Amino acid sequence: MTSRVSLGTLAVGAWLLTSTASALAAPCGTGSFEAWLDDFKKEAVAKGISQNAIQAGLAGVTQDKAIVARDHSQQVFNQTFEQFSGRMVPPRLTRGSDMLKRYGSVLSRIEEAYGVPGEIIVAIWGLETDFGVNTGKFSTMRSLATLAYDCRRSDMFKAEMLDALRIIERGDLSPQEMRGAWAGEIGQTQFMPSSYIKFAVDFDNNGKRDLLHNVPDVLASTANFLKSYGWKKGKDWEPGSENFAVIKQWNKSEVYARTIGYFATQLARAP
Active site residues: 128
Buried b (16+ CB within 10 A) or exposed e, 130-153: ebbeebbebbbbbbbbbbbbbeee
Q: What is the Cα Rg of the chain in Å?
A: 21
Side chain identity, residue 234: G
